[in-house]
Chains A and B, each alone.
Chain A
Amino acid sequence: MPDIKITPLGAGQDVGRSCILLSMGGKNIMLDCGMHMGYNDERRFPDFSYIVPEGPITSQIDCVIISHFHLDHCGALPYMSEMVGYTGPIYMTHPTKAIAPILLEDMRKVAVERKGESNFFTSQMIKDCIKKVTAVTLHQSVMVDNELEIKAYYAGHVLGAAMFWIRVGSQSVVYTGDYNMTPDRHLGAAWIDKCRPDLLITESTYATTIRDSKRCRERDFLKKVHECVEKGGKVLIPVFALGRAQELCILLETYWERMNLKYPVYFALGLTEKANNYYKMFITWTNQKIRKTFVQRNMFDFKHIKPFDKSYIDNPGAMVVFATPGMLHAGLSLNIFKKWAPYEQNMVIMPGFCVQGTVGHKILNGAKKVEFENRQVVDVKMAVEYMSFSAHADAKGIMQLIQYCEPKNVLLVHGEAQKMEFLKDKIEKEFKINCYMPANGETCTINTPTKIPIDVSLRLLKAEAVRYNAQPPDPKRRRVVNGILCVRDNRLSLLDIDEMCDEIGINRHIIRFTSTVRFEDPGPSVKTAEKLKTLLSEKLEGWTITISEANISVESVLIKVEGDDDSTKNIYVSWTNQDEDLGSYILGLLQSMVQ
């Protein structure tokens, strides 16, 4: 039984950083190479020494696949390729390749310039790393080498997010990355065909949630923002520069237009325009509605949303500010938060998931005081709201995906252990398939059935089809082929005997038995033969019996009558070894006739 082995170096029963090792059919593949946003030390990056304690890593990994541009999925890539020294192939989609370096650079700046960290990758390393990336398009089947094939499917989570189907020989795995099964304001829903992989590795961020309707959540969000600004409060929405931000901008933009509101809306960071440009270029990756209308009006040209300047932080009066980064762990959003947190009329809306250790995580858990590295303590009096806009699949969506692609096994990653347990139970009950949830560093082995490619002779198949079709239809009837299995140069073929002989230049050795029966029957031998034929036709109903002069043949059995016109005839019965049953039956028949 060939195995598939999976070892999460990250995302095993947690939502920190995704990095999963997959080995099957002698190939090792790394799925995502993310960094943990909650740590500042070496725990930030996956433990590459697990793969190989010393020496080059390239020989141990056949390829790296990045599912989308979120840093918890691609953040450690420059570290791996430029500092650990991986030089093999890296695959991601075109939008990911375009956007990831911007986010990486953004994070690098925060880490190095603000926090003063050393031993971090440089700008040049990010550029060098991205140069090594091979961009793939959706559904393109890419042969990494002779045996390893990968194919991307639309995942809908962020622009350019993809699920990957990976095949080695007859084994296949689907890795979902993060995905979303309901179309949102700018992206479509994830889609996969019935590819029946041996294993589906799926994220399970919302393993237990079945979210209320999207429209309700949006209304809720808009109502809260509107109420707050009406009272003169300031609304802070920490976001990542790309992804959710664009969706929320579209949402606010249309609302502001409809309600004719005049409160200023700002989008921090000069990245905005550039980011929106990416969305304009890669409009083929957005949802159908935007694709259809973009010629008339590009949804990513915002009228109401203005760029933010740092001096606006202390401006009086209501405003809405989108600021990066999304988990309030550093940067501008954290600065704004520090300024605005102590006032009750203000509000912060966390539109996405926050990893443990970030300020976002703390305030969502109800912390009323937040302490920072420099012993600065901030009172949190502002309203803290959590709105799940994260485009992850919920439990229903995950079940739906399983139904779509019909895997033989499921493995859960990128979720919390408790919630995974629940979903695992549900999957095992509902689909009657095995479900696994390894922790980080734990290897999970999955057996898959052996399937060996074999070439079957068409002659054999056609002969079988003729036999099968001649019988009355019966869907339960088993179809059977008989042939000779040949093994040459490690390749198998199933051939018809004659074909086999032709092909390899072998003459078949034929064994023939002949017996003589003496028969008193005066008259010409042709007459005798006709007599015999009549007898045989009676006894052997359904067989084709041919006669020419004094020779009768049934299948390979030959009967020959010899002798003078007026004397005893010699009847020779001859048959090949295969037709022993028929031959001995006919011989017995003639012998009893003679007596």
Chain B
Amino acid sequence: MKLYCLSSDAAKPCFVLSFKELLIMLDCGLSAHSVLNFLPLPPVPSTRLASLPNYTPPHLNDPLLEGELKECCGRVFVDSIPEFCPPLDKVVDFSQLDVILISNYTCMMALPFITEETGFKGQVYATEPTLQIGRFYLEELASWVAGAGGDGAAGAARRWKELLHVLPPPLALAARPRSWRRLFAPASIARALAKVRRVGYDERVDIYGALDATAVSSGFCLGSANWVLRSAHEKVAYVSGSSTLTTHPRPINQAALRGADLLVLAALTQTPAHNPDHMLGDLCVHATVTLRAGGSVLCPVYPSGVLYDLLECLSAHLDTAGLAAVPLYVVSPVADSSLAYSNILAEWVSVGKQARVYLPEEPFPHAALVRAGRLKHARSLHDDTFSADFRQPCVVFCGHPSLRFGAAVHLVELWASNPAHAIIFTEPDFPYLDALAPFQPLAMKAFHCPIDTSLNYSQANKLVRELRPRSLALPEQYAAAAGGAARPHIAADVPTVLLRRGAARACGVRRGLARATLSGALAAHVAPRDVRAGLRAAPLAAALRVRDSRLSLDVAPPPAPGAAAGAAPRLDWAAPDVEALVRALAREGVAEARVERGADGCIVHLPRHDTLVHVERHATHVFCEGDAEVRQVLRRAIAACLPHV
């Protein structure tokens, strides 16, 4: 068994497991940190961004670099369509992948990079909500980037990648920018998603007869799953994006992960220092204070996930704070679908939310907020109906959390100079100061309340202890720091394999047995003998049938004439009883055996036949000078009195 790691971002993992002649990809996360090096793509042309000064590195005159770099408040940005960092494509040939298993919608954004134009022929498995919400994320991303003219290859800034060494940080520290890629076209997103097969929790998916893959609830978001790969003798658990907190999704199923031969752990929290509950409380307080002072609140968010909790908590909090009249807006090309879908996924939500469905009421309160006119959603800021009833102060939820594209870019531009307004960051994917860098100087208030419900290190350590895996695999970021610097890490007393981007490591499982089925007819033939208490054995020759990688044993055909292999092997497991041997020889007509007992066995002497039989504990040696017939007699006699199976 071998494990490859293709992603450098532990929160957006991508592993490939090779096992039983199968190549199984676990998640395909798309790292979006790279977009922070680019200038924002405003949905409405911005004069401020357009008039930023060009940057040229000192002592360098490269005409090709002209216009690629801009400077804003002492920081250099690439003026081009943002690029993303897909999983490494040189380590594993994507056309050889058999299966892709997706744990949740935040870890599938690179799917088109894997399945499109790579010759990929395998299967992709994800739960229904993962597929639907993942589609929203991808479509939202594509519509913003493509909306700004970003899906063609034209006009890409390339030259700066050659000149990294002369650029100032943080651009100079960009990791492998040459492997960064533009976002895919909407058509390839649709093609990639069409390849996904939907599975339910606890559904056993048969993978080419060799393994069973089961998605079990991970408690992180709607439809999020941990994957358990199981054969009759081996078990691998892939735990990615799990949460032991109680929020809206179904709680984590730990029982299914127990006792694995290998546990792969990924996508832990990105903000271990922040408690999500406190952050949610802080957010409500900041929002209330800002709204009371007449300012508006902007929350750059993804179109699903924590958004649902935010809507639920914030609306309730504003009600008690006497701000029930403040409108809430969700602006996203997929806002309507996301809000509607969340309310038909009754089978995927927590028990409390599920109970509402039986009344029947929607599991999430945002449907009621929409009906009451409190919550409004729009495809974009310049929607006619939306602009018509847009009132301030208000709370706007819109993307993208990186502030590089989407409606949020325009709102930050609009509100940046007014200190009454506030921007509250809740998504943990991007450092908020980096996200805000191209909008400096900023007068509006900025708060950082990251809400990452994924496991933190102490929860993860506790989980590993409880699951008792026989070995563990982790991205290297999760291990203790080499220099002894104290940072939270995963510590376990089982063999642990650390992985970094591009690494391939052999992992714990050694296979010794395979499961087959024995037919009744063959079983009836076998008569096992007792070898010792609790153990019986018999020689067995069976016809082997391999169908769909499943083995079955049936009655063996009579050996074909001339065939070498035929009889079942015989296992003799103790020395023959010498007296019985002498009696047996006498019955066969070979009498006059003389027995001499020695220290470690005996010697049976047959003087008339010029033959000696040394019987020792682990071997019987026959020195036979006589003819073949005597030898056959000896063979029969010895065979008869050897304990065997």
Assess whether B526 is in contact with A485, with CB atoms less than 8 Å apart.
yes
CA distance A578 to B347 in the complex (A): 63
Assess whether B513 is in contact with A458, with CB atoms less than 8 Å apart.
yes
Q: A512-B620, A516-B625 are in contact. Are A451 and B537 (CB under 8 A)?
A: no
Assess whether A137 is in contact with B535, with CB atoms less than 8 Å apart.
no
Assess whether A454 is in contact with B519, with CB atoms less than 8 Å apart.
no
Assess whether B553 is in contact with A488, with CB atoms less than 8 Å apart.
no
Which residues, 489 to 519 on A, are CB-close (under 8 Å) to B?
489, 492-494, 497, 500-501, 504, 506-516
Tell me which residues across on chain B come within 8 A of A478, comparing CB atoms: 543, 556-557
Tell me which residues across on chain B come within 8 A of A479, comparing CB atoms: 543-546
CA distance A514 to B625 in the complex (A): 8
A467 at interface by CB-CB < 8 Å: yes
In the complex, identify which listed stretch (B75-83, B426-434, B489-497, B566-574) lies at the interface while the others stay far away: B566-574
Closest to A143 in B: B202
Assess whether A464 is in contact with B544, with CB atoms less than 8 Å apart.
yes
Tell me which residues across on chain A come within 8 A of B513, comparing CB atoms: 455-458, 493
Q: A281-B360, A449-B519, A515-B625 are in contact. Are A489 and B541 (CB under 8 A)?
A: no
CA distance A464 to B541 in the complex (A): 12
Tell me which residues across on chain B come within 8 A of A450, comparing CB atoms: 519-520, 523
Assess whether B514 is in contact with A461, with CB atoms less than 8 Å apart.
yes
Assess whether B336 is in contact with A295, with CB atoms less than 8 Å apart.
yes
Assess whether A584 is in contact with B628, with CB atoms less than 8 Å apart.
yes
A167 to chain B, nearest CB (A): 11
Closest to A296 in B: B336
In the complex, identify which listed stretch (B47-55, B338-346, B411-419) lies at the interface while the others stay far away: B338-346
CA distance A482 to B539 in the complex (A): 8
Tell me which residues across on chain B come within 8 A of A506, comparing CB atoms: 531, 571, 573
**Partner of A452 from B203, B514, B523, B538 at Cβ < 8 Å:** B523
**Partner of A492 from B337, B518, B546, B617 at Cβ < 8 Å:** B518
Assess whether B620 is in contact with A511, with CB atoms less than 8 Å apart.
yes
Tell me which residues across on chain B come within 8 A of A509, comparing CB atoms: 572-576, 618-620, 642
Tell me which residues across on chain A come within 8 A of B318, comparing CB atoms: none
B622 at interface by CB-CB < 8 Å: yes
B516 at interface by CB-CB < 8 Å: yes
Tell me which residues across on chain A come within 8 A of B541, comparing CB atoms: 480-482
Assess whether A512 is in contact with B540, with CB atoms less than 8 Å apart.
no
Assess whether B543 is in contact with A513, with CB atoms less than 8 Å apart.
no
CA distance A138 to B528 in the complex (A): 44
B237 to chain A, nearest CB (A): 17
Closest to B529 in A: A487
Which of A274, A294, A295 has its CB near the most chain B CB atoms (within 10 A)?
A295
A53 to chain B, nearest CB (A): 35
Q: A94-B347, A458-B511 are in contact. Are A482 and B540 (CB under 8 A)?
A: yes
Tell me which residues across on chain A come within 8 A of B566, comparing CB atoms: 480
Assess whether A137 is in contact with B347, with CB atoms less than 8 Å apart.
yes
Q: A141-B202, A480-B541 are in contact. Are A456 and B565 (CB under 8 A)?
A: no
A365 at interface by CB-CB < 8 Å: no
Tell me which residues across on chain A come within 8 A of B537, comparing CB atoms: 484-487, 500
A453 at interface by CB-CB < 8 Å: yes
Assess whether B346 is in contact with A94, with CB atoms less than 8 Å apart.
yes
Assess whether B543 is in contact with A480, with CB atoms less than 8 Å apart.
yes
Assess whether A456 is in contact with B535, with CB atoms less than 8 Å apart.
no
Hey, what's the 0/1 contact readout for B345-360 against A, CB within 8 Å counting as 1?
Answer: 1110000001001101
Hey, what's the 0/1 contact readout for A468-481 against B, CB within 8 Å counting as 1?
Answer: 00000000001111
B624 at interface by CB-CB < 8 Å: yes
Which residues, 549 to 584 on B, are CB-close (under 8 Å) to A?
551-553, 556-557, 565-576
Assess whether B556 is in contact with A480, with CB atoms less than 8 Å apart.
yes
A140 at interface by CB-CB < 8 Å: yes
Assess whether A484 is in contact with B518, with CB atoms less than 8 Å apart.
no
B636 to chain A, nearest CB (A): 11
CA distance A283 to B367 in the complex (A): 15
A443 at interface by CB-CB < 8 Å: no
B512 at interface by CB-CB < 8 Å: yes
Assess whether A97 is in contact with B358, with CB atoms less than 8 Å apart.
yes
Assess whether B535 is in contact with A488, with CB atoms less than 8 Å apart.
yes
B252 at interface by CB-CB < 8 Å: no
CA distance A511 to B616 in the complex (A): 10
CA distance A282 to B345 in the complex (A): 8
Hey, what's the 0/1 contact readout for B612-645 against A, CB within 8 Å counting as 1?
Answer: 0000011111111100100100110011001001
Q: Indicate the size class of the contact surface on chain A.
A: 35 or more
Q: A454-B517, A481-B553 are in contact. Are A510 and B618 (CB under 8 A)?
A: yes
A483 at interface by CB-CB < 8 Å: yes
A284 to chain B, nearest CB (A): 6
Hey, what's the 0/1 contact readout for B300-337 against A, CB within 8 Å counting as 1?
Answer: 00000000000000000000000000000000000011
CA distance A485 to B540 in the complex (A): 6
**Partner of B357 from A98, A508, A513, A515 at Cβ < 8 Å:** A98
Tell me which residues across on chain B come within 8 A of A455, comparing CB atoms: 232-233, 513-516
Tell me which residues across on chain B come within 8 A of A457, comparing CB atoms: 512-513
Which residues, 190 to 217 on B, are CB-close (under 8 Å) to A?
199-204, 214
B536 at interface by CB-CB < 8 Å: yes
B165 to chain A, nearest CB (A): 50
Assess whether B534 is in contact with A488, with CB atoms less than 8 Å apart.
yes
Assess whether B517 is in contact with A451, with CB atoms less than 8 Å apart.
yes
CA distance A170 to B516 in the complex (A): 12
Assess whether A497 is in contact with B571, with CB atoms less than 8 Å apart.
yes
B261 at interface by CB-CB < 8 Å: no
A46 to chain B, nearest CB (A): 26
Which residues, 278 to 295 on A, are CB-close (under 8 Å) to B?
278, 280-284, 294-295
B358 to chain A, nearest CB (A): 5
CA distance A487 to B341 in the complex (A): 54
Q: A282-B344, A282-B346, A486-B535 are in contact. Are A501 and B571 (CB under 8 A)?
A: yes
A566 to chain B, nearest CB (A): 24
Which of A277, A513, A577 has its CB near the most chain B CB atoms (within 10 A)?
A513
Hey, what's the 0/1 contact readout for A342-370 against B, CB within 8 Å counting as 1?
Answer: 00000000000000000000000000000
B278 to chain A, nearest CB (A): 34
CA distance A508 to B539 in the complex (A): 14
B308 to chain A, nearest CB (A): 16
B362 at interface by CB-CB < 8 Å: yes
Which residues, 500 to 534 on B, are CB-close (under 8 Å) to A?
511-520, 523, 526, 528, 531-532, 534
Q: A139-B199, A479-B546, A480-B556 are in contact. Are A467 and B565 (CB under 8 A)?
A: yes
Which of B553, B568, B631, B642 has its CB near the most chain A CB atoms (within 10 A)?
B553
B542 at interface by CB-CB < 8 Å: yes
Tell me which residues across on chain A come within 8 A of B202, comparing CB atoms: 140-142
B452 at interface by CB-CB < 8 Å: no
Q: A141-B202, A487-B537, A510-B618 are in contact. Are A454 and B344 (CB under 8 A)?
A: no
Which residues, 424 to 476 on A, are CB-close (under 8 Å) to B?
449-459, 461, 464, 467
B128 at interface by CB-CB < 8 Å: yes
A1 at interface by CB-CB < 8 Å: yes
Assess whether A452 is in contact with B346, with CB atoms less than 8 Å apart.
no
**Partner of B573 from A98, A508, A512 at Cβ < 8 Å:** A508
Assess whether B572 is in contact with A511, with CB atoms less than 8 Å apart.
yes
Tell me which residues across on chain A come within 8 A of B531, comparing CB atoms: 504, 506
Tell me which residues across on chain B come within 8 A of A247, comparing CB atoms: none
**Partner of B514 from A295, A451, A456, A480 at Cβ < 8 Å:** A456
Which residues, 115 to 157 on A, are CB-close (under 8 Å) to B?
137-142, 151
Spell out A's residues near B (CB within 8 Å): 1, 94, 97-98, 137-142, 151, 170, 274, 277-278, 280-284, 294-295, 449-459, 461, 464, 467, 478-489, 492-494, 497, 500-501, 504, 506-516, 577-578, 580, 584, 588
Given contacts A509-B572, A584-B628, 6 further A-B contacts (CB under 8 A): A140-B200, A294-B340, A454-B517, A480-B556, A481-B542, A487-B537
- Top 4 A-B pairs ranked by shortest CB distance? A450-B520, A139-B203, A509-B572, A455-B513
15 sample A-B contacts, Cβ–Cβ < 8 Å, listed by A number: A140-B203, A278-B360, A281-B346, A283-B344, A284-B345, A295-B340, A452-B517, A454-B518, A456-B514, A457-B513, A483-B568, A493-B513, A500-B537, A507-B617, A510-B572
